[in-house]
Amino acid sequence: MEVSEFFLKLLVILISAKFFAEVFAYLRLPSVLGEVIAGIIIGPSVLGIIVPDATFYLLAEIGILLLLFEVGLETDVGQMLKVGIQSSLVAITGVLAPAFAGFWISNYVFHLPFVVSLFIGGTLVATSIGITVRVLVDINKHQTKTAKIVLGAAVLDDIVGVVILAILYDYAVKGEVNIINTAKVVGFITVFLLIAPLITKLFVPLISKLSTKKRTRGMIPTLIISLILILAVISHEVGAPEILGSFAAGIALARRFFLPLGSTIDHYSHDLAEKIEEKMTPIINLFVPIFFVVVGASINLRVVDFTSLNFWQIAGLFTIGAVVSKMVSGVWVKGDFRKKLSTGIAMVPRGEVGLIFAEVGKKNGIFDDMVYAVIVFVVALTTLFAPLMLRFIMKGEE
């Protein structure tokens, strides 16, 4: 790619994202939807200006790292742990129900082969943590109890999603599953998530010192982004998604971080927290929309044959299965029906994780064009409509 071509494409991404985000915000809808729709419009589905290549995918990955960092920064671990049991139950149901629904519809209703059905089940598992948290932030509900349950569940979901993808991939390609390896990965991830924020916390005094003693400019953004990258890479090494590393980095630097025993670590000055927020916010705001535009541009709706009745039958049933099976997970939430419903709906969007599954399935010949098109369609639908529904159902929730 020529430099000026890259600049032009980056320009189109930034401007279209901002334009549609503003329009959606004006209509009182989650602006993240505007960004995804900007991606669908400039992507292969409509205009075909942007077909995300390696560089834009990598910039998008920085965006999602930064978003999860910011979410971590605003996360109160104590409050998250308080709703931990509800989160876990929501997550477990949110994994089992869609996996079962996907498998059942594929295998029993449409008589698809066993491996294909398994893979479709896996595809319907992972909640898009990115879409979900951005919607909650956009509609200003990210500090509600529902949001805390959903965040915990989405994080767990994401881990389980990656583990399931690994297992299914092994099974589909090699014909066997290495249980010991899988158990190891789960163990590593658990240990990592428990100790990463604590160990990171120990480096906060160093960051604080470097940011005041510095002789060059830009110490804070460089240190914070380096920290995010280190934890993302370690997270990847232990077998977890990179975004969990940046989430851990955010938690470690959160103002309200405290040890499970109830004692807070108070090396962390209020001053540093403010400086981090001030310096990181412009960078976060620049990169995050790139992620959602790339998600939109990764959805190629042209693969979908909208004139085929057969397609509508299959896609319709899968969409219902994908939505209902996630909504079921809301039953575990304490409170009125509305809380259960909003939690269930918040778990619905599949976004980028579903697309990754679909790509892997297609590349390895597990999904044919029809199944691939159905998955892309289901992902697009859950990504776009769950946020809309959430916007209306969570009105007034605190």
- Residues lying near its own copies in the complex (CB under 8 A) are found at 1, 3-4, 6-8, 10-11, 14-15, 17-18, 21-22, 25-26, 31, 54-55, 57-58, 61, 65, 214-223, 225-226, 229-230, 232-233, 236-237, 242, 278-286, 288-289
Whichever of 57 and 311 has its CB closer to its own copies, that residue is 57
Q: What is the rounded CA–CA span in Å between residue 65 and residue 67?
A: 5
Token pair listed for 15: 């401007």
Residue 87 Cβ vs its own copies, minimum distance, rounded to whole Å: 27
Residue 103 Cβ vs its own copies, minimum distance, rounded to whole Å: 29
Q: Which residues contact 246 (CB under 8 A, 6 or more apart)?
A: 65, 66, 68, 69, 72, 228, 231, 232
At 264, the amino acid letter reads T
Residue 218 Cβ vs its own copies, minimum distance, rounded to whole Å: 2
Task: Name residue, tokens 């992507």.
Answer: 43
Q: What is the rounded CA–CA span in Å between residue 63 and residue 84?
A: 27
Residue 212 Cβ vs its own copies, minimum distance, rounded to whole Å: 13
Whichever of 157 and 352 has its CB closer to its own copies, that residue is 352
Whichever of 24 and 257 has its CB closer to its own copies, that residue is 24
Token pair listed for 216: 């060059």
Whichever of 3 and 309 has its CB closer to its own copies, that residue is 3
Residue 162 Cβ vs its own copies, minimum distance, rounded to whole Å: 13
Residue 125 Cβ vs its own copies, minimum distance, rounded to whole Å: 20
Cα dihedral sign for 393, 381, 36, 358?
positive
Q: What is the rounded CA–CA span in Å between residue 373 and residue 392?
A: 29
Task: Name residue, tokens 């939690």.
Answer: 343
H-helix or E-strand spanning residue 107: none
Helix (H, G, I), strand (E, B) or coil at 229: helix
Whichever of 163 and 224 has its CB closer to its own copies, that residue is 224
Whichever of 74 and 89 has its CB closer to its own copies, that residue is 74
Q: What is the DSSP letter of 263?
A: P
CB 129 within 8 A of CB 348: no
